[in-house]
Chain A
Amino acid sequence: MNFIWAFFIIISIIYSLCTGKLDSLNTEILNSTKDALDMVMKIFPVMALWLGIMNIASVSGLLKKMSNAVAPFLSKLFPELPKGHESLSFIASNIITNMFGLGNAATPFGLKAMKSLQTLNPKKDMATRSMITFLVINTSGVTIVPTTIISLRMMHGSANPTEVVLACILATSLSTIGAVFVDRYYARRDKKRDRRSI
C-alpha cells in the first residue's frame, strides 16, 4: 500500500513536471482535500442511518438469527473465527446487503465486521487472515442486483436494461470463487513463512 501510494504520487508529479502542467497539478493537489471531505460527507449521513438501523437489528437479535442461517457456509470461509462470534453476523449482513446492491447499507456492516474482527487480532496494526478473506470477497463484488447500472441503462434507452444481470451474476460469481482461491493460496504461503521465521 505504501509503495503503490508513493508510486502514484511520484510518477504523476514527475510526469506533470515534464509536460509542464504545473497549474493543474497545483489545483489537483488541493482539490483532493475537498474531494475527500465530500466523500466522507456523502457517506457519513447514510452511514449514520444504517448504523442506527443495524443497532436495532443487533440488539433485537435479528442479526444473530440471520447469521445462524448462513453460519455453516461462512465457517468454511473463516475457519479462524470462533463459532457464533458477532463478527460472523456482521459479515453475513454485509454480504447479503451487498448482494442486493445496497452498497451504502452494506458499508456500515462491513465496518462493524472489521471492528469486530479487530477484537480478535493479536497485532492491532496488522491485518489478519480473516480480515483479508472478508475484504477480498467484498472487493470481487457479490452484487446480484446492480441497481445503478440498471437505472443508467434505462436512462440511455436500453431495449432491455436488465439483460446484463445474469451476465453480471455469472462474472461476479466466477471472480468471487477465483478470489477465494487466491486468498487461500496467499494465506497458506503466509502461514508457511510465519512458521519458518519462528
Chain B
Amino acid sequence: MIGVLSNLMIPLLVLVVIGYGIKRKVAVYDVFVDGAKESFELAFTLFPCMLGMLLGVNLLLKCGILDVIFEWAAPFFEFLHFPVQLLPMAFLRSVSGSTTLAMMNQFFAEYGPDSFIGRLASVIQGSSDTTLYVLTLYFGSIGVVKSKYALKAGLIADFMGIVASIIVVQLFFG
C-alpha cells in the first residue's frame, strides 16, 4: 500500500505541477528548460564542497581508526544496553548516509530485518538525515563559510534522534 503510494507520488507531483501550469497559461516547456538550466551553476559550485567533505570523510572511514575507537568504547555501551553492533552506524549516521545505508543492509542480511537490530537500524536510518552532507551542500551552494552554531546544533539534534530511536523501538517492539 505504502509502496504503491510512494510510487505514485512522483508522477502525481509532476502531473499536478504541469496541469496547474497549463491552467494558468504558463509556457510550461520554456519555463521548465529555464529552471533546469540552473543545475549547471549548482553542479559547479557544489563540486569543490563535495570534494572537500568526501576527502575528510573517506580518509576517516577507511583508515581504520574508527574500529579501534568503537572497540574501545564498546563496554560502556554494553553497560547502557545499547547493541554494540549498531555503534558504528549510530555514530556515522550524521557523517555518511551511504555508509550507514550499507551497514543497515548488512544487518538485514545478518540478523534479518525483523530482528531488534534490524528494526533499530531501520529507525536510526529513517529518522535522521546526514547532517554533514546537508550542511556542506546547502551552505556550499550559496558560499556561506561561517556556519556559526549550525554543526553543533545539527549534531546535538542527531544525538537526540538516536536516543529517541532506541526508546521508540524498545517501546514498540521491545
Q: Does B88 count as interface, using CB distance less than 8 angstroms?
A: no
Within the complex, the shortest CB–CB distance from B35 to chain A, in Å, comes to 3
Is B73's beta carbon under 8 Å from chain A?
no
Question: CA separation between A21 and B154, bound complex, in Å?
Answer: 33
Q: A5-B52, A174-B160 are in contact. Are A114 and B141 (CB under 8 A)?
A: yes
| The residue from B46, B65, B129 contacting A12, defined by CB atoms under 8 A apart | B65
Decide: A62 near B2, CB < 8 A? Known: A12-B65, A29-B59, A135-B138: no
Residue numbers in B under 8 Å from A149 (CB-CB): 104, 122, 125-126
Q: Does A80 sit at the interface, judged by CB under 8 A?
A: no
| CB-defined contacts of A197 to chain B, threshold 8 Å | none
Instruction: For residue A36, give the distance in angstroms from its CB to the closest CB of chain B.
Output: 4
Q: Does A68 contact B (CB under 8 A)?
A: no
User: Is B20 among interface residues, defined by CB-CB distance under 8 A?
Assistant: yes
Are A53 and B13 closer than 8 Å at their CB atoms?
yes
- Contact between B165 and A171, CB atoms less than 8 A apart: yes
**Chain A interface SS verdict (over half):** helix
When chains A and B are docked, how far (Å) is the Cα of A40 from the Cα of B49? 10
Does A179 count as interface, using CB distance less than 8 angstroms? yes
Closest Cβ neighbor of B28 among chain A residues:
A56
CB distance from B75 to the nearest CB of A (A): 22
Contact: B164 with A111, CB < 8 Å?
no
With the chains together, A54 CA to B170 CA distance in Å?
40
CB-CB under 8 A for A59 and B26, given A5-B56, A183-B153: yes
The tally of residues in A whose CB lies under 8 Å from a CB in B reads 109
* A70 proximity list for chain B (CB < 8 A): none
A33 touching B160 in the complex, CB below 8 Å, given contacts A25-B63, A47-B42, A172-B127: no
Q: Would you give the 0/1 interface string for A185-198, flagging 1 where the beta carbon is closer than 8 Å to chain B? A: 01101100000000
Interface pair B104/A127, CB less than 8 Å apart: no
| Contact yes or no, A102 B9, CB < 8 A | yes
A60-B20, A105-B13, A139-B129 known; A11 vs B43 contact (CB < 8 Å): no
A107 to B136, CA, bound (A): 12
Interface pair A139/B154, CB less than 8 Å apart: yes
**Distance in angstroms between the alpha carbons of A140 and B62 in the assembled complex:** 26
B interface residues (Cβ-Cβ under 8 A, vs A): 1-3, 5-6, 9-10, 13-14, 16-18, 20-21, 23-24, 26, 28, 31-36, 38-40, 42-43, 46-47, 50-60, 62-65, 94, 101, 104-105, 108-109, 112-114, 118-119, 122-123, 125-131, 134-135, 137-139, 141-154, 156-158, 160-161, 164-165, 168-169, 172-173
**Known contacts A108-B39, A145-B6; can you find 18 more A-B pairs with CB under 8 A?**
A9-B60, A60-B24, A102-B10, A111-B42, A111-B138, A114-B141, A127-B144, A132-B148, A139-B94, A139-B130, A139-B131, A143-B129, A153-B108, A166-B172, A172-B127, A179-B154, A179-B156, A187-B149
